[in-house]
Structure formats: structure tokens, C-alpha cells
């Protein structure tokens, strides 16, 4: 057992911190207020070669494990960029993991290098308004034609669809009533996000304004048979493959944001003087911050444990879900405490902690809710009866 980061992981921390230092508080506050995809940041990541970290070497990627990816995403999130910076690249770096694993060599060569070079962005279209967390209930339909498929339906919360060129799309190819389980009969496509067939409408939301989320109305989207990933009907299985890594990374990102919040709160508590002494001299200010530090560290250990199991090819469902759960809770609580430490100024945008608190809320909701994580642990780890 080794609790030390490797030399490679330390180099990732240094390299990412270097990029993030060019994008400070004013940059991200402006993005939070006015939106607009952080393209210059995205291009800086591409130039540094960071968009290919998890892609195979044969297409120009670095093929690093999830442990290293978690270090990278935590470092990004523990900057002023928080979830805006993490999500701007999250979709593109880790969304297409299923292509890297289940795509043909031809598909990998066609699709992955443009992402690594920062020339193309991809959105991830799974969630639907009438299905929610019950992915087996999705109704977006892909029907066979002579040379491919035609897709009709509706997605919701599709992030980056305003700027994406491509969409990784889950659609039903076999009617639900002909399948044994809801999750059967679904297929995964990597399609052009053709604006003539996809009406993309942005959702006005609580935070992370620069990384848009959308409703997508799909009307006769034509997709070539070459753009189907793997076999028809196995799409959910392919998505499942990337779910554990994504949970680990979402946990790591929340932890990064929480650490940034605690850092800001501690600095403020040292400087702000009330009743003739720094507020940080009061234990009621110190203890919540110290406790959050401990919770964040413990959650990070769970992320690293889950990543280490995943990278060793072992099953890690329980640990990955626990990492997502613990990281998101610890991150959110740390941000809330950072706001309270700042008193009235915690509510002011110029101190940034309210922005961190709004952004870290996402990690508790997506890609899976905290309740569904607890359902999974209750059933699969504790052996309790399925509750839904």
C-alpha cells in the first residue's frame, strides 16, 4: 500500500497548476456572470496535451490511468476555475472513453485525434426528460435505414451542446416491450451534432454558466452505420464501462473545489479582524474548517482506492460510488462553511466562495444522485432488498 503520489502524478499537478495560473479569479467570475465557453482555457489545455490524457497512445493520447486522471481533475477544480474549468474538458476527455474501449481502430483514428488537438468538442446525450435516472426508460429512437439510422427524440441537460461538433448519443434500437430489461436494446452513436436536425436550447441554471447545458430536440437526425459504436443493442453496457471512472472523477473534482474553498476561508479568517482579533482565532471558525479538511482528505483516499482498483482491473463499483458520494458531500460542506466563514462577504461575488458553492452542487446531482448511490450501496454491498 502506497499513499504517495507518483512522480508522474506530481508532474501532472505542476503542469496543470501552471496552465490554471493563467486563468485567475477575474476570468472565471466573468465567465460565471456572462457565460461564453472558456475557449482560450480549452485551447491552452489542448496545447499542453492535457485533452488526451486518457486516450490510447496509438491515437496520440497518454493512456494514463484513472488515478492520474483524478489527480489532474482535482488540480483543475482546486483552482479558481472550479467546476467551470473541470466540466469544460471533462466531457471531451472522459466522455468518449467508450469509443477508446469499444470503437474500431478506424473510428478511434477518425474521432479521437481531433478532440486531443482541441479541434472538436463532443457532448454527451443520455438523460431524457421523461426517464430521468431510469436510463432504461429512454425513448429517443434510432431506426434502421438503407445506409444507417435516423434518430428522433429528446434529450435534456446535454452539456456543451451549444459549442459541440459531435454528440455521443444513447438511443433505443429495439422497442422496450421486445426487451427483457429496459437497459437492453439501447445503442450508442457518435454523431455529428447537425443543427438542422437538432434544436439545441440552453437551460438557464444555478452555476457553471460558461459550460452550457441544454434541451436537445432531435428531428430526423441521419447517422451513418459507421457511427454506431460496437454492437447494436449493447449501448448501455458501453456507457456502464465509463461510469465508475466518471464517478471517481466527479468525486475528485468536488474535493478540489472544497479544498479551494477551505484555502480561501482560512486566508480570510487570518486577515479579518473583529472584536480586536482575527476571526480565525475563534474555535467556532477554526473547527468547521479543520473538520472539512479531514473529510476532504478521507474522501480523497477513497477516490485513490477506487482508482487504484480500477487501474488494476479489479471491480470497484462500491468504492467508485462511495468516492463520488463522499467527495461531493465533503466538497459541498466545505464550500458552505467557506461562505459562512466570510460572513456577509461570503454572499458577495467578489470573494468567489458563493460561486464555488453553487458549482459544487452539481456533483451531488450528476451524473447520478446521492440517493441512487446509497441505493446501490444498500443493495450491492449490504445485500438489502432493492427499494425501487
For residue 214, the SS3 value is: strand
Q: Which is nearer to ligand FAD, 74 or 358 (CB)?
A: 358
DSSP conformation class of 96: T
Distance of alpha carbon 30 from alpha carbon 219, whole angstroms? 35
Query: Of the listed pieces 17-25, 156-164, 193-201, 216-224, which binds ligand FAD according to CB under 6 A?
Result: 156-164
Find the angle CA(286)-CA(288)-CA(291) to the nearest 5 degrees.
Answer: 105
Cα separation, 210 vs 88, in Å, equals 8
Would you say 208 or 305 has its CB closer to ligand FAD?
Answer: 208
| SS3 state at 144 | strand
One residue of 372, 377, 378, 379 binding ligand FAD per CB under 6 A: 372
Among 274, 294, 301, 365, binds ligand FAD (CB under 6 A): 365
Query: What's the min distance (Å) between Cβ of 371 and ligand FAD?
Result: 4
Using CB under 6 A as the binding rule, whether residue 249 contacts ligand FAD is answered as no
Among 157, 189, 268, 332, binds ligand FAD (CB under 6 A): 157
Residue in 122, 187, 341, 375 binding ligand FAD, rule: CB under 6 A:
375
Give the footprint of ligand FAD on residues 127-146 (CB under 6 A): 127, 132-133
CA atoms within 13 A on the CB side of 256: 30
How many residues sit close enough to ligand FAD to count as binding (CB under 6 A)? 20
CB-facing half-sphere around the CA of 304: CA atoms within 13 A = 17
Give the nearer residue to ligand FAD in terms of CB position, either 126 or 197: 126
Site string for ligand FAD, 333-362 (x = CB under 6 A): -----------------------------x
Stretch that binds ligand FAD, among 36-44, 255-263, 344-352, 365-373 (CB under 6 A): 365-373
> What is the rounded CA–CA span in Å between residue 39 and residue 305?
33
Residue nearest to ligand FAD (CB): 132
Across 225-239, b (16+ Cβ under 10 Å) vs e yields eebbbbebbbbbbbb
What is the distance between the alpha carbons of residues 376 and 322, in angstroms, rounded to a whole number?
A: 10
Long-range CB pairs of 355-358 (<8 Å, 24+ gap) are 355/28, 355/29, 355/32, 355/82, 355/207, 356/82, 356/257, 356/260, 356/261, 356/264, 357/261, 357/332, 358/206, 358/207, 358/208
Least distance in angstroms from the C-beta of 317 to ligand FAD = 17
Q: Based on CB atoms, which residue is closest to ligand FAD, 366 or 377? A: 366
**Residues from 198 through 217 that contact ligand FAD (CB under 6 A):** 213
- Closer by beta carbon to ligand FAD, 158 or else 187: 158
Write the binding mask 91 to 130 for ligand FAD: x where contact by CB under 6 A, - elsewhere: ---------------------------------xxxx---
Nearer to ligand FAD, 203 or 274 (CB): 203
Smallest distance, ligand FAD to C-beta of residue 369, A: 3
Number of other residues whose CB lies within 10 A of the CB of residue 288: 19
**Contact, 236 vs 145, CB < 8 A?**
no
Output the smallest distance, CB 158 to ligand FAD, in A.
Answer: 5
The nearest distance, CB 279 to ligand FAD, in angstroms, is: 33
Alpha helices in 63-218 (DSSP H): 66-77, 82-94, 97-102, 105-116
Question: Which CB sits closer to ligand FAD, 62 or 372?
Answer: 372
- Burial-class residue 165 by CB neighbours within 10 Å (0-12, 13-18, 19+): middle
Choosing from 151, 279, 368, 376, the residue that interacts with ligand FAD (CB under 6 A) is 368
Are 107 and 225 in contact by the 8 Å Cβ rule? The answer is no
Nearer to ligand FAD, 166 or 342 (CB): 166
* C-alpha span between 143 and 149 (Å, rounded): 5
Q: Is the CB of 19 or the CB of 246 nearer to ligand FAD? A: 246
Q: Which residues face 232 on adjacent strands?
A: none
Contact assessment for residue 334 and residue 326, using Cβ atoms and an 8 Å cutoff: no
- Give the footprint of ligand FAD on residues 294-313 (CB under 6 A): none
Binding residues vs ligand FAD (CB under 6 A): 124-127, 132-133, 157-159, 213, 362, 365-369, 371-372, 375, 388
Amino acid at each position: 500500500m502506497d499513499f504517495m503520489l507518483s512522480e508522474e502524478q506530481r508532474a501532472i499537478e505542476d503542469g496543470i497548476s501552471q496552465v490554471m495560473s493563467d486563468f485567475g479569479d477575474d476570468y472565471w467570475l466573468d465567465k460565471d456572470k456572462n457565460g461564453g465557453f472558456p475557449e482560450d482555457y480549452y485551447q491552452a489545455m489542448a496545447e499542453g496535451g492535457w485533452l488526451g490524457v486518457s486516450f490510447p497512445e496509438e491515437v496520440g493520447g497518454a493512456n494514463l490511468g484513472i488515478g492520474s486522471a483524478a489527480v489532474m481533475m482535482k488540480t483543475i477544480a482546486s483552482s479558481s476555475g472550479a467546476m467551470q474549468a473541470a466540466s469544460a474538458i471533462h466531457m471531451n476527455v472522459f466522455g468518449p472513453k467508450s469509443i477508446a474501449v469499444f470503437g474500431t481502430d478506424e473510428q478511434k483514428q477518425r474521432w479521437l485525434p481531433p478532440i486531443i488537438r482541441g479541434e472538436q468538442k463532443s457532448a454527451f446525450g443520455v438523460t431524457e426528460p421523461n426517464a430521468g435516472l431510469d436510463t432504461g426508460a429512454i425513448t429517443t429512437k434510432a431506426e434502421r435505414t438503407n445506409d444507417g439510422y435516423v434518430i428522433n427524440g429528446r434529450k435534456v441537460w446535454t452539456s456543451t451542446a451549444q459549442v459541440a461538433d459531435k454528440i455521443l448519443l444513447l438511443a433505443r434500437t429495439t422497442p422496450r416491450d421486445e426487451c427483457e430489461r429496459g437497459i437492453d436494446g439501447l445503442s450508442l452513436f457518435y454523431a455529428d451534432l447537425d443543427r438542422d436536425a437538432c434544436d439545441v436550447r440552453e437551460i438557464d441554471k444555478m452555476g457553471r454558466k460558461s459550460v452550457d447545458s441544454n434541451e436537445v430536440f432531435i428531428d430526423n437526425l441521419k447517422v451513418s452505420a459507421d457511427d454506431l459504436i460496437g454492437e447494436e443493442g449493447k449501448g448501455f453496457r458501453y456507457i456502464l464501462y465509463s461510469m465508475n471512472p466518471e464517478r471517481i472523477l466527479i468525486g475528485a473534482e468536488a474535493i478540489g473545489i472544497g479544498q479551494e474553498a477551505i484555502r480561501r476561508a482560512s486566508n480570510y479568517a487570518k486577515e479579518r479582524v473583529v472584536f480586536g482579533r482575527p476571526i480565525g482565532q475563534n474555535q467556532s471558525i477554526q473547527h468547521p474548517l479543520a473538520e472539512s479538511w479531514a473529510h476532504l482528505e478521507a474522501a480523497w483516499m477513497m477516490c485513490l482506492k477506487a482508482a487504484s482498483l480500477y487501474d488494476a482491473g479489479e471491480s470497484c463499483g462500491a468504492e467508485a460510488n462511495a468516492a463520488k458520494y463522499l467527495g461531493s458531500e465533503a466538497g459541498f460542506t466545505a464550500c458552505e462553511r467557506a461562505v459562512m466563514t466570510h460572513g456577509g462577504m461570503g454572499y458577495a461575488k467578489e470573494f468567489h466562495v458563493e460561486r464555488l458553492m453553487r458549482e459544487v452542487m452539481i456533483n451531488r446531482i450528476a451524473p447520478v444522485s446521492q440517493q441512487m448511490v446509497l441505493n446501490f450501496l444498500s443493495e450491492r454491498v449490504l445485500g438489502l432488498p432493492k427499494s425501487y
